Amino acid sequence: MRNLVIAVDGPAGAGKSTIAKIIANRLNINYIDTGAMYRAITYKCLKNNIDINNEEEVVKLAKDTDIDFRDNNIYIDGNILKEEIRTMEVSNNVSNVAKIKEVRYLMVDVQREIGKRNSVILDGRDIGSYVFPNADYKFYLVATPEERGQRRFKELKEKGYETTLEEIIKDIIKRDEIDSNREFAPLVKADDAIEIDTTGKTIDDVVESVISKINL
C-alpha cells in the first residue's frame, strides 16, 4: 500500500480520536493523537511547576522533552502517558500552551517526520490546514457544543472523574475559542476538507461516512 496521510480535524469532543482510532485499525495504519502531544507538554509543565503563561519557560521545557509514539501510545522522555493527560487541570491549560508558536513548531516537526515514514491518520486542529496541506484525505468533524459536552461528560463520569456537565461545556467552549483565534495555525476547516456533522450520529454512522470517502 502506498504511504497514506489522513487528516481529521475539528473542535473538542467532535469524535475525532474515536473515529481516527477505528479507521486506523480498519486500514491497518498508524494513529497519531496530536492533541496528546500538547497535553503531554502541558502535563509536564504543571508537574514541574512551570507557569503556563511564561512562554520562554514553556518553550525551554518543550525543547528538552523527547516525544515519541509507539503502538499508538504517547511517550515523553521514555515514559508512557495515559489518563494523567486527560484531567480537567490539563484540559484547562492546554490551549494556552498550544498557542505558543515555538511549541507548535516542535510538535509539527515530530508529526511530519512520522507522516514521512508511515501511512498514518492524525487527529488534531491544524492537520489538514497546516501540518499536511497535501494530505490524501481531510475530514473536519463538528457537533453542537451541548452534544460534545454530553459525550465528554459521559466519558469522564465512566472513568470516575468528579466533574459537572457545565464545567465541561465551559472548558470546551473556552478551548474552541482560544484554538480558533490563535495567531499561528488556528483551528480551521481546510478548504478541501470534507465536513461531517456528527450531531445525533452514532460512532458507526460517522465511521461509515468517513470510510465511504476513502478509495484505496
- Binding stretches for ligand CDP (CB under 6 A): 10, 12-18, 34-35, 38-39, 94-95, 98, 123-127, 151-152, 155, 175, 179, 198, 201-203, 206
12 in a known ligand binding site: yes
185 in a known ligand binding site: no
Smallest gap from Cβ 2 to ligand CDP, in A, equals: 24
20 in a known ligand binding site: no
8-state DSSP, 86: S
Q: 16 vs 192, which CB is nearer to ligand CDP?
A: 16
10 in a known ligand binding site: yes
Q: 94 vs 169, which CB is nearer to ligand CDP?
A: 94
Question: Cβ distance 203 to 18 under 8 Å?
Answer: yes
14 in a known ligand binding site: yes
Smallest gap from Cβ 203 to ligand CDP, in A, equals: 5
Question: Cβ distance 189 to 195 under 8 Å?
Answer: yes
Q: 10 vs 115, which CB is nearer to ligand CDP?
A: 10
- Residue 96 cell numbers, joined: 494556552
| Distance between CA atoms of residues 176 and 172, nearest Å | 6
Smallest gap from Cβ 72 to ligand CDP, in A, equals: 14
Please, what sign has the CA dihedral across residues 71, 64, 123, 191?
negative
Question: Cβ distance 116 to 32 under 8 Å?
Answer: no
Gyration radius of the chain's alpha carbons: 16
13 in a known ligand binding site: yes
Smallest gap from Cβ 1 to ligand CDP, in A, equals: 25
The SS3 call for residue 69 is: strand
Q: 134 vs 215, which CB is nearer to ligand CDP?
A: 134
Q: 44 vs 151, which CB is nearer to ligand CDP?
A: 151
| Distance between CA atoms of residues 70 and 213, nearest Å | 28
8-state DSSP, 191: T
Smallest gap from Cβ 15 to ligand CDP, in A, equals: 3
Closest among 122, 96, 85, 114 to 9, alpha carbons compared: 122
Residue ranges of the annotated binding site for ATP are: 10-18
Residue ranges of the annotated binding site are: 10-18
